[in-house]
Structure 1
Amino acid sequence: MTINDVINALQKAGINPPSEVNSKEVIKLFHEQNGESYTVSTAKMMKFLSALGFSYGNLLDCDRTGLNKALENTLKIDDEPEKSKLRKALDGISDIFVGKSKSGIPFQVTIPDSFEAAQILYSKLCENDCIEIISQDEGVFNPSPDNIVYHTDATDGSKGVDITQADDIWLQFTGKVNPGFYMMVSAENNVLSKDIAILGNFLTDHHGTYYLEATSENIRLDFQSTNYAYYLVFANETLTRFYAVRMDLLSKALPTDCHWLCIDFGTSNTTVGTWKEDQTHEIVAFDDVTSADKKPNCLMPTIAYVLNAGSSGTVKLLFGFEAKKRLIETDYQPKGSIFYNIKQWISADSNYTVSCNDEFNHNIELKVHDIISMFLKYVVEQAEIKLKRHFVKFHFSAPIKLKDRLYAITSKTFNEAEYTVANVQDSLDEGIAIMYERISELREEFRKNPQKNRGDVMIIDCGGGTTDVARCRYAFTSSDVGVKTQIRVCSVNGQYFGGNELTYRIFQLLKIKLSDYYKSGVLSDKIQITSIDDLISTATDDYLNAVDQYITQIIERKDTPFTYYEQLDKASQEAEWVLPTDYANKAIVNGAAMIAQAKRNFNYLWNWAERIKIEFFSGESRATFSFSTDIQTDKALYFYADPSAEHVVPKMNLQKQDSVPDVAINIKELTALLSPQIYYILSIMLLKADGSELIFDDKSMQNTRMLLAGQSCKISLFRDLMKEYIPGRRTRSGKNVKRTAAEMKLSCVKGCIQYLMEKEMLNGETQILTDAPSVIYRVAVNTESFDSEKILLDGRSIKQTDKVKTMNRVEIIQRQLAVGEIQYSVYNNVVSTNDAVSAGAIRIEPDITKYTPFDNLTDLITEITKRSVPGIESYQFEHEGKSESVLSRLETDLHGIESDQNGKLLYFILPNNDGCGFILWQIVKRTEDGKRMYYLFEPSMIDYLKDTVVSRFDGKNCIMRA
């Protein structure tokens, strides 16, 4: 290069040339300092080097000191004088700067944690000329084309829609990029705006492609502007240089989609989907942000995490994968409350609250229905972000017994005028939804072969925390508009058993093995790891016989608990003294520090138990899972333990155990461990709802096919053990015999999509009839003497066939109208025998002014009928050798009870209209001026399900439960 080349390059970079142009003087321009900063900015230096023909790509990963060094070593001016003196001069300059590594940015740079902080950083970078604008001609970057940023189309102001990997806005860059943040700024004539428009971060695929992501609150584009020229401003890995590259953006309003958005709100995972104009299903794949290499997943974890709860108006919760990510980021020791099974709260009272704490030591009471509402809003928002459409119609599927409860929550959550939530009558419960996808296939078979016009299917849906059984009968007939389909469904059984119980058994075994390892003092010659044979019998006949005997005792109502896992439970309780995981167990865990340590033990161990379950029973099962070889590289692998295993309360703080245990769990152990639990779940679920006999002992069920749904049913043991009841061929689900766990979980949402799409397209006619759900409980009240109970409602007496509905006569209790309580106990007819699963008391209100008066008993009965189990007017009972109407007898009995001026309190119990609980009715009957009057108190609705939930996430696994 010549002196003129150097002068021209300096002028292009906006740098005044020195009075004498030679290598020494030019290099001094870039080394010379003004205080603690360089006189010539890095941006101008790179313009100079680029103008001289230096390769930009070779200099991207240098800091300022490295750039100066590169200039020293490569600048050669061919026509400068006194070349022989140059080397010595350069050496002198090098001596001046040795050890003074500088970034070229005259202020401290940190990753901005807010839009406002990013704006301040950007302003400083501009003021100090720190942003290097790189031309496309340099060949060091490649931006994605046709980039669209969406926004809501609202009259009160548009709002940006989150940018995610699904938007496919990306940058390929040859240098190392800091993924922590980027800023997008608009440009006019290649001059950068003073204000940033977007603050976001990169998601890298580790192959040189950086996907742009940003949350809606950090997208502040001018959506009315037609400008599409923007520059992406980002930093190198060490935050020592900043680059700006051209990236064109278009903004579009999020289009409104009038198709239904279907949400399957699951215990462990939630799925969402809709359909496209070509009638193909579109399932939402959520971003799994737990790590950079995770692919989008259609199963969103149903998890809520309390991040900030400074006040009820500013509560910030994380959900799904974001909550799971936060759990990992906190090293499985979250300071905020984390909730794994929020679905159980559907049946809770609308005012029921839970105590929550956040990461800043705030404590707040939150209504559980509000948490559900926030979660469902988040799910809808994420669906809109992923599908880039605004939805106004929502369909929520739920177990048949919870449809009314879920609709009450969702209709309140989406109560704006623009939204529509499918009501109870027009929405599918989970049983029908799972079946409907198969119904569509069967309808096509009917079109080809009219003889295949009806059938009977039993559905077992085993998810993470619940298992439901429903019976579905279908019939097809031809009509002028296509095929007419009639579906009749009835909920047969439903219990809180599921995949979490399987995870818990693995959790117990891991905990026992780990405690054996740690209490040995980690000395190989002392390690005595408990064998699976010491915990449970591994002989197949043993567990089959044990479960069969237990089921027989339930049918006979003998009070014998299921004790097959008794030794495992005892060993797990003993292991608690070494490796505490029950953070709510005050008998062992005391103090904030130990509670945090026990929580950490639980969260981390549960995570690994879940991973082992999934790995072992995926399509490609493995033989052994070893701590020393499979998870020794996991940075989080440590526990807090007390190797002494002393039964001393209070314990001192636990010791951190970093050693990797040389223990393993194999497929043989897992099969022996889980088979009894699965067979137990199946046996319980296949009991009739009244616990009287196995479903398949009924002759009418002999030709019924079985459909397995829910991700837990993917485990091959389910199908193997089902053969104990029915031939294997009858458990096939149709065309898709080999389905992944995700596909089985998606059965529900796909069925909803198919039903609503066909209904909207007027494809034939579908009639869905829902029978009253089975009542699987009985309720007793204490008598006046409080030393005995009287059964007022027994689900075993409530039976429904095609021809007749029967139940027991309604029992009426009489008491004086005075201050007091009605004490009741609830029993589960299927799982439990003589142990109450919940109990409570209802206050007697003696103030007659708080009651609604009725002078006509028939009107009172009509009011009671509205809130009772559907079709109660058709229920009969046997009385004096003939059938009599239950309601007519209730009216007769109420009429026949004597009363006086003081009044008499009468109360009785009937199942409520959703079958999920029961109502205790209080009536005061008294005589006024010779006339009989009836006063009805506000009915007391009680949900037996709410109190029967045994959560595996409440820190009480080893505590004996009442």
Structure 2
Amino acid sequence: MKEENMGLYSYKLHNINEEHKGAYKEKDLRLMTTFQLREICDREKLVKSIVNPLDKEELIRLIMKYRGEKDYRLINFFNEGGLERIEKFIKKSEKHIAKNKTIDYPGKLTIYEEIDLDIYDDYVLKSTEELCEGNVLLVDDSYRVCTVFNIKKIKIENGFTYYLTKGKSVAAFESESRHYSLLLFSEKDSELLFKIYTGESTLSEKVMTIKSLPILQFEIKQLNETVTPLAIDFGTSNTTAGIYIDKEIFNSETVEERIKLIKIMDTTQDVLKITPLIPSIVAIEQIKDGNIKYSFGYDAMKISQKRYLDDGLTIFYDIKRWVSDFEKEEKVIDSNETSTFIKRKDIIKAYLLHIISLADQRFKCKFKKIYISCPSKQRFKFHTLFKEILSDYVVESENILEESVAVLYNTVSELIEKNKYIQGEWYKALIIDCGGGTTDLSGCSFNIKNNRISYELNIETSYENGDTDFGGNNLTFRIMQFIKILMADALSKRDMTIKKAIVDEFNKDIFRSIDKYGISELYSSLNKEYEKAEEIIPTKFQVYETRSKEDYCKVRSNYYFLFDLAERVKKKFFSNPDLLNITLTSSISKEAQDNTILFDKWKLSYMNNGNLKIVKEAPSILLNIYEVTTLIKGDVYNIIRKFLNKLYKNDELYDYSLIKLTGQSCKVEIFRDALKEFIPGKIIEVNRSKRASEEEYELKLACIKGALRYLYDKNFGYADINIQSKTPTLPYIVTAFTHTGEEKVLIKGKEIKKGTISRFADKIILKLYLKSLDNTIKYEYAYNFRREELEKTDAKTIGNLYPNINQHETDNIENNEVKFFAWVEEDLWGFYVLAVLRQDEELYVGKEKFFYFENDEWEKNFFDGLK
């Protein structure tokens, strides 16, 4: 029974005991009047409140939520006895075979065991008349059903294309007769086949008109295992994957011939768009009998866009960050409100297996060798996780490239191809990688020699700096702040001049303002207005966890709605440099142009007399490129300044031959402008493609292409590659306070790798403080010293067990003194703390404890419900 306390309007779903419950399609409901829709609600016991009755759109959503049926019911899953039931029905039915004069179709069909037949296999049906999406039977000459295909209708710019597809779990077999036909049905009969397949219908026969298309050949093949490695670039926002082609002769010298990337369809778009970027997003679709059904990438995004306001279903947007604490469990909920707990590493595993399955499908082979690039600073941890969760595969760990080195290798390969290098000369490069959630700075030195039998490449690399709190999501959030303020202002009719007032706050030399006053001062007014807007359009859904489920879901919907809208604005502006303004509107118009972004107003709620009310008349918002670039300019300059200011002051920047920007966020022109404050523009390489900018992925693809070029050169023996990775520079300080209040540095960047601090022997909680190199406190750790955990020992044993502790450091411990030893563990990207006590001239050691430098507690997370 649904709660009645549902704000200004409500409904409750009665217990339905009747044998018959209606099922309705959205396209049919949209043809009905409001009166007819209310009649359906009454008949189906979907009772709405008499206060503020639901309008037509809300009635449709209510009916679809509880009695909705998918528009096209496709047989693309396994059902016990399903094919047999269809075959029995087809053989008994009276069949009128219509002559085919309109459909052009493939004469040969090949499918592979264990993988789907998808649109990428390019089995196209061409027809002079419109076809409907539905089920297609493959039968032999005695109407034995060999398998079931589907027709998938895909919108392209000038019309529709019809593809023949098939789910991998639908049974298939070859017939001895070898005479095959495809049977096409009307929409109604196709749905009947679905019901017979699932057992919903027991109809034994029917008169049907069928189109029969004879097939010359049908073949089922097995997937063969390949030794070619599958390379994966696991990103915060998007993941890419691909292979190098195992041959030496190509029709041209283009990289695209040697490298093949997995490409997928963006299912969130109305018009067909194929992209190599796979969003690193996971949705929990169904939890049943302890098993979890996931959706990934664009399919997960589509679920997010289509879900109802009060759906609690879980969607994860930031799974790469989980690697720092992959054993932690997450609570997950599906659309039926079923919940369970699952470890983060299992969700990451499911996502990576999905990527591998896409590769199997696209390249028609089974991959066993997996090659995943990783961040410099957490190389060990990433590969510990990957080897554990992908235990059925051979995960390369010896010759793995760090992400920054993969980017550099892509550049080195281009220099070789274009012959733009001097034999044996050393070059220095800085690589700034701004991804979706983090930004990293890496330094590299390299030289190239063209020897008699191969190229010799010597590469030295080091991680120099990083910011786990800055990435493309920061830029999206700034735009979201602006949109939320403008939306709230329009809904409340509070201050119609707020837009001009905000932009005027940035009417200054932003770069010099940050140099003088810092970043916080620049954005203080914007942040204050954003907090005011929270009173009208709340987005901090974590605050609503203890309130009604309806309010929580509405506030959560507000945040994701606005963040998604801001992301669309960012992508549209920065993929099209000629675009000057964008209109955000919920009103569908035939005159809608390229500069219009349509949004679903039903996902937005606002405060009205203390109640959250769904927006019915959504305001239209006009944004221009000047406003958006002005908003994000300070953030971009601040991160560049953080990375380069010290190098600039020390006159070290001119030692670099090139500074390379990589990562999708770096295509924003402001990055180049910010860099020009420190270096000449001619040594900045952004690697922009000559293709239309709207289709440009080069910045994101630099890493995966570099990894694949490396594998190609190494496996063919074209290059003798020597890579030396220096110990990553630690961008943190760890401190503690003495009893006199003096702050003591225990660990600091490259300079101090270990330290000690002492206390009087008692039950002690030692507080340790993690700071950035600019002395900003990031996090507070606590080490609990407990006497009951102590074990008697001696100085020699301590020295043998802990090489970071020297004997003279334990010899000088006095009676009743506890000395805490802290030391860096670079491989794990964290540090250990160990307590040693001297009591009655004897030494006792406590339990060592490990602390990660980066964790969920302090890293900025735009999806934590507190923004």
TM-score, length-scaled by structure 2:
0.80
Q: Which has the larger radius of gyration?
A: 1
Which of 497, 511, 514 is the matching residue for 1:547? 514
> In structure 2, what is the equivalent of residue 537 of structure 1?
505
Alignment map for 1:814-833 (pairs within 5 Å): 814-816=759-761, 820-830=764-774, 833=775
Measured after TM superposition, the shift of residue 461 of structure 1 is 0.8
Q: Indicate how the Cα distance of structure 1 residues 599 and 231 shifts in structure 2: closer, same or farther if over 3 A, else same.
A: farther
Counterpart-to-counterpart distance in 1, 2:486 and 2:94: 57
Counterpart-to-counterpart distance in 1, 2:839 and 2:454: 60
Conserved? CA contact 2:436–2:473, under 8 Å: yes
Counterpart-to-counterpart distance in 2, 1:365 and 1:852: 41
Which of 102, 108, 111 is the matching residue for 1:140? 102
Counterpart-to-counterpart distance in 1, 2:178 and 2:267: 30
> In structure 2, what is the equivalent of residue 724 of structure 1?
677
Measured after TM superposition, the shift of residue 149 of structure 1 is 0.8
Counterpart-to-counterpart distance in 2, 1:296 and 1:267: 20
Helix, strand or coil at the partner of 2:481: helix
Helix, strand or coil at the partner of 1:922: strand
Residue identity opposite 1:460 in structure 2:
I
Residue-by-residue CA offset, 1:243-282 (whole Å, 9 max, x unaligned): 3433442112223221221111111100111111235011
> In structure 2, what is the equivalent of residue 435 of structure 1?
408
Counterpart-to-counterpart distance in 2, 1:611 and 1:131: 50
Residue identity opposite 1:269 in structure 2:
N
> In structure 2, what is the equivalent of residue 422 of structure 1?
396
Residue identity opposite 1:164 in structure 2:
D
> In structure 1, what is the equivalent of residue 649 of structure 2?
697
Helix, strand or coil at the partner of 1:435: helix
Residue identity opposite 1:501 in structure 2:
N
Counterpart-to-counterpart distance in 1, 2:792 and 2:120: 58
Q: Indicate how the Cα distance of structure 1 residues 130 and 656 shifts in structure 2: closer, same or farther if over 3 A, else same.
A: farther
Which of 703, 708, 713 is the matching residue for 1:748? 703
Does residue 143 of structure 2 align to residue 166 of structure 1?
A: no
Residue-by-residue CA offset, 1:286-339 (whole Å, 9 max, x unaligned): 22223452222100111011112345x401221111101211222576531111
Residue identity opposite 1:533 in structure 2:
A
Helix, strand or coil at the partner of 1:531: helix
Counterpart-to-counterpart distance in 2, 1:669 and 1:733: 24
Does residue 230 of structure 2 align to residue 256 of structure 1?
A: no
Residue identity opposite 1:275 in structure 2:
Y
> In structure 1, what is the equivalent of residue 5 of structure 2?
none
Helix, strand or coil at the partner of 1:216: coil
Residue-by-residue CA offset, 1:59-79 (whole Å, 9 max, x unaligned): xxxxxxxxxxxxxxxxxxxxx
Q: Indicate how the Cα distance of structure 1 residues 208 and 538 shifts in structure 2: closer, same or farther if over 3 A, else same.
A: closer
Alignment map for 1:707-718 (pairs within 5 Å): 707-718=660-671
Which of 797, 808, 820 is the matching residue for 1:892? 808
> In structure 2, what is the equivalent of residue 293 of structure 1?
271
> In structure 1, what is the equivalent of residue 782 of structure 2?
841
Conserved? CA contact 2:76–2:166, under 8 Å: no
Residue identity opposite 2:756 in structure 1:
E
Alignment map for 1:761-776 (pairs within 5 Å): 761-776=716-731
Counterpart-to-counterpart distance in 2, 1:531 and 1:421: 52
Residue-by-residue CA offset, 1:718-745 (whole Å, 9 max, x unaligned): 1122111111101025796887641110
Residue identity opposite 2:268 in structure 1:
T
Q: Indicate how the Cα distance of structure 1 residues 731 and 426 shifts in structure 2: closer, same or farther if over 3 A, else same.
A: same
Residue identity opposite 2:675 in structure 1:
M
TM-score, length-scaled by structure 1:
0.73
Conserved? CA contact 2:747–2:823, under 8 Å: no
Conserved? CA contact 2:310–2:549, under 8 Å: no
Alignment map for 1:358-373 (pairs within 5 Å): 358-373=334-349
Conserved? CA contact 2:754–2:824, under 8 Å: no
Residue identity opposite 1:811 in structure 2:
T
Alignment map for 1:332-371 (pairs within 5 Å): 334-348=311-325, 350-371=326-347
> In structure 2, what is the equivalent of residue 917 of structure 1?
830
Which of 714, 727, 733 is the matching residue for 1:759? 714
> In structure 2, what is the equivalent of residue 489 of structure 1?
461
> In structure 2, what is the equivalent of residue 191 of structure 1?
142
Counterpart-to-counterpart distance in 2, 1:590 and 1:401: 41
Measured after TM superposition, the shift of residue 532 of structure 1 is 3.9
Counterpart-to-counterpart distance in 2, 1:453 and 1:228: 65
Which of 50, 60, 79 is the matching residue for 1:116? 79
Alignment map for 1:44-443 (pairs within 5 Å): 114-116=77-79, 119=83, 122-123=86-87, 125-126=89-90, 129=93, 131-134=95-98, 138-151=100-113, 160-179=114-133, 181-187=134-140, 190-193=141-144, 195=145, 197-198=147-148, 200=150, 202-205=152-155, 207=159, 209-218=161-170, 220-222=171-173, 229-239=179-189, 243=210, 244-247=212-215, 248-278=217-247, 280-291=258-269, 293-310=271-288, 313-330=290-307, 334-348=311-325, 350-416=326-392, 419-423=393-397, 425-443=398-416
> In structure 1, what is the equivalent of residue 434 of structure 2?
462
Counterpart-to-counterpart distance in 1, 2:176 and 2:615: 60
Q: Indicate how the Cα distance of structure 1 residues 851 and 333 shifts in structure 2: closer, same or farther if over 3 A, else same.
A: farther
Counterpart-to-counterpart distance in 2, 1:236 and 1:380: 36
For these two proteins, the number of residue pairs brought into alignment is 755
Measured after TM superposition, the shift of residue 386 of structure 1 is 1.7
Q: Indicate how the Cα distance of structure 1 residues 845 and 536 shifts in structure 2: closer, same or farther if over 3 A, else same.
A: farther
Measured after TM superposition, the shift of residue 372 of structure 1 is 1.1
> In structure 2, what is the equivalent of residue 624 of structure 1?
581
> In structure 2, what is the equivalent of residue 614 of structure 1?
571
Residue identity opposite 1:703 in structure 2:
D
Helix, strand or coil at the partner of 2:387: helix
Residue identity opposite 1:260 in structure 2:
P
Residue-by-residue CA offset, 1:389-409 (whole Å, 9 max, x unaligned): 211111111211121111011
Residue-by-residue CA offset, 1:174-206 (whole Å, 9 max, x unaligned): 554331x4143341xx1211x552354524346
Residue-by-residue CA offset, 1:792-847 (whole Å, 9 max, x unaligned): 43324x2xxxxxxx43762243553x6554332322224xx44x322232333534
Residue identity opposite 2:715 in structure 1:
E
Q: Indicate how the Cα distance of structure 1 residues 237 and 764 shifts in structure 2: closer, same or farther if over 3 A, else same.
A: same
Measured after TM superposition, the shift of residue 353 of structure 1 is 1.4
Conserved? CA contact 2:647–2:653, under 8 Å: yes
Counterpart-to-counterpart distance in 1, 2:421 and 2:305: 55
Counterpart-to-counterpart distance in 2, 1:813 and 1:780: 13
Q: Indicate how the Cα distance of structure 1 residues 789 and 827 shifts in structure 2: closer, same or farther if over 3 A, else same.
A: farther
Alignment map for 1:845-864 (pairs within 5 Å): 845-847=786-788, 855-862=796-803, 864=804
Q: Over aligned residues, Cα RMSD in angstroms?
A: 3.2
Which of 848, 858, 863 is the matching residue for 1:953? 863
Counterpart-to-counterpart distance in 2, 1:702 and 1:127: 80
Helix, strand or coil at the partner of 2:300: helix
Counterpart-to-counterpart distance in 2, 1:815 and 1:366: 43
Counterpart-to-counterpart distance in 1, 2:603 and 2:285: 24
Measured after TM superposition, the shift of residue 848 of structure 1 is 5.6
Q: Indicate how the Cα distance of structure 1 residues 695 and 198 shifts in structure 2: closer, same or farther if over 3 A, else same.
A: farther
> In structure 2, what is the equivalent of residue 591 of structure 1?
548
Q: Indicate how the Cα distance of structure 1 residues 297 and 812 shifts in structure 2: closer, same or farther if over 3 A, else same.
A: same
Counterpart-to-counterpart distance in 2, 1:824 and 1:310: 44
Q: Indicate how the Cα distance of structure 1 residues 938 and 629 shifts in structure 2: closer, same or farther if over 3 A, else same.
A: closer
Helix, strand or coil at the partner of 2:537: coil
Residue identity opposite 1:162 in structure 2:
D
Helix, strand or coil at the partner of 1:721: helix
Does residue 613 of structure 2 align to residue 655 of structure 1?
A: yes
Measured after TM superposition, the shift of residue 242 of structure 1 is 5.9
Q: Indicate how the Cα distance of structure 1 residues 294 and 563 shifts in structure 2: closer, same or farther if over 3 A, else same.
A: farther
Residue identity opposite 1:747 in structure 2:
A
Conserved? CA contact 1:518–1:643, under 8 Å: no
Counterpart-to-counterpart distance in 2, 1:178 and 1:707: 49
Q: Indicate how the Cα distance of structure 1 residues 612 and 550 shifts in structure 2: closer, same or farther if over 3 A, else same.
A: same
